[in-house]
Amino acid sequence: MKKSDLIVIMAVVILLLPFFLFPPVLDFYRSFNASHAYIASFIKFAILATFGESIGLRIRKGVWSEPGFGFLPRALVWGIIGIWIKMAFVIFGEGAPVMMKTLGIHFPAGNPADLLREGPFTWYKFLAAFSVGFTINIFFAPVFMTFHKLTDLHISNTGGTLRGFFTPIPMGKYLQTMDWNTMWSFVLKKTLVWFWIPAQTLNFLLPEEWRILVAAVLSVVLGVLLSVASIVQKKS
């Protein structure tokens, strides 16, 4: 283990420890999360998802950062994606269970989405959660993952600076140069089916106040998965 690894581990512990030692810190998190949900989503994803990408870099190259990595533009992109994900949670969290009702499933609640907000675990609640996990990953996740890949290419090609990031993004060029084989065969076909759909199904069984935080933590896992995909691609 390198000295930089110990520093990162200590920083994570110092950041998380107050939530366990000081109840007012946790109370503030809950209050802020309830009052400013979209700002909270921006912050969570900006920090945790960017950290996930740094972990991915550590896996691939043995370092936590490198010239051109672009912590600030990456955090900005992930923060924006965090807001989108919060919006998607609202849209699919309400709409997907209702869609299941239109298929003829007789839920014990007038609004099936209410099952995800209260009450004990039941198979109806699981079915409602699965409908969200399935639809959000089929209809929304491919779009945000592709957008993230395009911005990732732009950050790399502009030196990882904020000034470079705010230059016009040549979407057509990046769409042509993207590795669609890995994007489809690993990121979309495998991780969505075998990881993200089950993970988001379980996530929507949790209390609503924790779902975005769990999603942000799962984005750390995304950084690891994308790094594994990169290693697999190089070996193939």
Indicate whether 179 pLDDT > 90: no
197-227 tens-digit pLDDT: 999 999 999 998 899 999 999 888 777 776 7
pLDDT attached to residue 233 = 62
Q: Which pair of tokens denotes residue 75? A: 């955090």
pLDDT attached to residue 224 = 76
Please tell me the distance from the alpha carbon of residue 85 to that of residue 215, in angstroms, as a whole number: 9
Angle at alpha carbon of residue 113, lines to 98 and 44, rounded to 5° = 120
Indicate whether 54 pLDDT > 80: yes
Question: Confidence band (pLDDT; 50, 70, 90) for 229?
Answer: low
pLDDT above 70 coverage of the chain, percent = 95
Indicate whether 59 pLDDT > 90: no
For the residues 58-83, what does the mean pLDDT come to? 93
Average pLDDT over the chain, rounded to an integer:
90
Indicate whether 60 pLDDT > 90: no
Nearest-10 crossing angle of helices 71-102, 208-235: 110
Please tell me the distance from the alpha carbon of residue 220 to that of residue 224, in angstroms, as a whole number: 7
Question: Confidence band (pLDDT; 50, 70, 90) for 98?
Answer: very high
- The DSSP element (H or E) to which 5 belongs, if any, is helix 3-21
For the chain, first and last CA: distance in Å? 28
Please tell me the distance from the alpha carbon of residue 31 to that of residue 35, in angstroms, as a whole number: 6
Indicate whether 29 pLDDT > 80: yes
Q: Which of 10-24, 125-139, 187-201 has the highest mean pLDDT?
A: 125-139
Q: Which pair of tokens denotes residue 232? A: 């697999």
Indicate whether 74 pLDDT > 90: yes
Question: Confidence band (pLDDT; 50, 70, 90) for 187?
Answer: confident
CB atoms within 10 A of CB 63: 12
107-140 tens-digit pLDDT: 987 899 999 988 889 999 999 999 999 999 999 9
Contact yes or no for 54/219 (Cβ under 8 A): no
Please tell me the distance from the alpha carbon of residue 119 to that of residue 201, in angstroms, as a whole number: 16
In the chain, how long is the greatest CA-to-CA distance?
58
Angle at alpha carbon of residue 230, lines to 228 and 234, rounded to 5° = 115
Residue whose tokens read 């070996």:
235
Please tell me the distance from the alpha carbon of residue 54 to that of residue 113, in angstroms, as a whole number: 36
SS3 (DSSP) at 67: coil
